[in-house]
C-alpha cells in the first residue's frame, strides 16, 4: 500500500522512434516524477489503456511497478 497521493497525476503515451512502439506513462502534474509501463505496444490505444490502468491502480493504493502484470485484465 502506498502513501503517495496520485490524485493529481495524469496519464499519457509516448512514441519510441527507434523501436517504433508506444509506451504508456503516469506523471505528476508538476512534471517532476514519471513512471513508464513495463510493456511496449504497437498500438497507441493499447498503450493508453495500460497507462490508464496503471494510474487507476496507483490511485487505489498499488504503486507503479507493483501492479498486476498477468492474468485476466482489470474491468
Average of pLDDT values for 13-37?
97
Residue 56 has pLDDT above 80, yes or no: yes
Residue 3 has pLDDT above 90, yes or no: no
Answer yes or no: is 71 within a domain. no
Could you tell me if 6 and 58 are in contact, meaning their C-beta atoms sit under 8 angstroms apart? yes
Q: Which domain holds residue 46?
A: 9-59
26-38 b/e (C-beta count within 10 Å ≥ 16 → b): bbeeeeeeebbbe
Total domains, the chain = 1
Percent pLDDT > 90 in the chain is 77
Answer yes or no: is 22 within a domain. yes
Predicted confidence at residue 71, as pLDDT, reads 45
Answer yes or no: is 70 within a domain. no
Answer yes or no: is 4 within a domain. no
Answer yes or no: is 45 within a domain. yes
Answer yes or no: is 72 within a domain. no
Answer yes or no: is 65 within a domain. no
Q: What is the mean pLDDT of the chain?
A: 89
Opening angle at CA 53, ends 49 and 7, nearest 5: 120
| pTM > 0.75: yes or no | yes
The DSSP 8-state label assigned to residue 8 in this structure reads T
CA dist 9 → 20, 26, 31, 43 (Å): 26, 7, 9, 23
Amino acid at each position: 500500500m502506498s502513501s503517495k497521493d496520485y490524485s493529481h497525476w495524469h496519464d499519457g503515451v509516448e512514441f519510441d522512434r527507434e523501436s517504433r512502439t508506444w509506451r504508456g506513462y503516469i506523471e505528476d502534474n508538476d512534471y517532476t516524477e514519471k513512471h513508464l509501463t513495463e510493456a511496449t505496444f504497437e498500438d497507441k490505444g493499447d498503450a493508453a489503456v495500460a497507462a490508464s490502468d496503471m494510474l487507476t491502480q496507483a490511485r487505489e493504493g498499488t504503486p507503479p511497478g507493483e501492479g498486476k502484470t498477468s492474468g485476466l485484465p482489470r474491468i
